[in-house]
Amino acid sequence: MTGIVKVVLLKKDLQNIPVNSVLVAPQTTPEFTPRLKNVSAIITDEGGVLCHAAIISRELHKPCIIGTKVATQVLKDGDLVEVDANVGVVKILKRS
């Protein structure tokens, strides 16, 4: 799955998530849930198999990679990425 990165560090950024973007955040909380329906994939710095992002991504059938530790530092708004959640790999195809 490929898409354009949208990094969300603050709650106010939740209002500006483009449809079909790849959401990158330190973690997700229930406040993210309505917006997660419109993203193509979820990547977080923190979390495990029972974290919010993992549970919601399974419910919504969205690719999700959790616990990267560095996604919000490495990925930038506008980057084109390929997400392979089956093997836990994010490949940067083009920098913004």
3-state helix, strand, coil in the chain (%, to 5): 25, 30, 45
pLDDT digits (tens, 9 = 90+) for 3-60: 999 999 998 999 889 999 999 999 999 999 999 999 999 999 999 999 999 999 999 9
* β-pair type (41-44, 64-65): parallel
Instruction: Give me the domains of the chain, ranges plus CATH numbers.
Output: 2-94 (3.50.30.10)
Top-confidence residue, 12 or 82: 82
pLDDT at residue number 59: 97
Residue of 5, 7, 22, 52 marked active site: 52
Has 61 been annotated as catalytic? Answer: no
pLDDT at residue number 27: 98
Q: Would you say the C-alpha torsion 7, 10, 11, 16 has a positive or negative sign?
A: negative
